[in-house]
Chain A
């Protein structure tokens, strides 16, 4: 089954404790991106990647890092999480030539206390 998976689905952590949210897709997609969803703000792009070793900032990259060492994986790293990073996070992917056909992961609910 073609899908985007995220782990963990739920995470409660404390300020300053480094964490990684994983994203993996099995569709051989070149393009991958991360969004965060906050009430009243919709979803906003954090980072995106056009292919292996090619990443760039989205609209809200502060406090996040990403890496793209393999085509299927695009982890989101919070090196020192803060309460304002409490949010719902989505990973998405698409074929490079069809960015308008994006597949979303199931979401990760992160709470930073």
Chain B
């Protein structure tokens, strides 16, 4: 079974600064996806970024980028130029890539979450 660990329950950062959220995972799979989701106070789950394990290049989405270290099973999220609207709970998640109808097809395995607070 896969596990995802976020070791930082809470983080804080000043507006306009950079912050990195950590995530490690454990799997014996070779093909999988990794995700970062944002959950603001509205509770809506918002996809921030997705990384395919077979891609060596780290994914980026505007101010958000990841550092994907496959051998170390590490997947950290870097938020640059932090904004007040980035205040939220952030979840790291794993999905193994399986054939159609395979066990655990489409299942997301989530970490415990990291609460990020951006201070003005």
> Which residue numbers of A lie inside 8 Å of B, CB to CB?
31, 33, 35, 40-45, 48, 50, 58-59, 88, 90, 92, 94, 96-97, 99-100, 102, 104, 106-107, 109
Per-position 1/0 for B23-56, Cβ under 8 A of A: 0000000000101000000111101001000000
Contact B106 A48 (CB under 8 A): yes
Q: How far is the CA of A51 from the CA of B14 in the complex (A)?
A: 46
Say yes or no: is B101 at the interface (Cβ < 8 Å to chain A): yes
Contact B112 A33 (CB under 8 A): no
Nearest-Cβ distance from residue B45 to partner chain A, whole angstroms: 4
Q: How far is the CA of A95 from the CA of B111 in the complex (A)?
A: 24
Say yes or no: is B108 at the interface (Cβ < 8 Å to chain A): yes
Contact A33 B106 (CB under 8 A): yes
Residue on B nearest A9 in the bound complex, by CB = B43
Nearest-Cβ distance from residue A95 to partner chain B, whole angstroms: 10
Q: A31-B106, A40-B112, A102-B47 are in contact. List 16 more A-B contacts (CB 8 A).
A: A33-B107, A41-B112, A42-B4, A45-B107, A58-B107, A94-B106, A99-B105, A100-B35, A102-B106, A102-B108, A104-B44, A104-B45, A106-B44, A107-B43, A107-B45, A109-B43
The 17 sampled A-B contact pairs (Cβ below 8 Å) are A33-B106, A35-B110, A42-B4, A43-B91, A43-B108, A44-B110, A45-B107, A45-B108, A48-B106, A50-B105, A58-B107, A90-B45, A94-B106, A99-B95, A102-B47, A104-B44, A107-B45
Looking at chain B's contact residues, is the secondary structure mostly helix, strand, loop, or mixed?
loop
User: A90-B45, A100-B33, A106-B43 known; A43 and B106 CB under 8 Å?
Assistant: no
Interface size on B, residues (CB 8 A): 22
Say yes or no: is B72 at the interface (Cβ < 8 Å to chain A): no
Q: How far is the CA of A35 from the CA of B43 in the complex (A)?
A: 13
Per-position 1/0 for B78-115, Cβ under 8 A of A: 00000000000001010100001100011110111100
Query: Which residues of A are found within 8 Å of B44, using beta-carbon distances?
Result: 104, 106-107
Q: How far is the CA of A96 from the CA of B106 in the complex (A)?
A: 8
Contact B110 A43 (CB under 8 A): yes
Nearest-Cβ distance from residue A73 to partner chain B, whole angstroms: 18
User: A42-B111, A42-B112, A99-B95 known; A88 and B106 CB under 8 Å?
Assistant: no
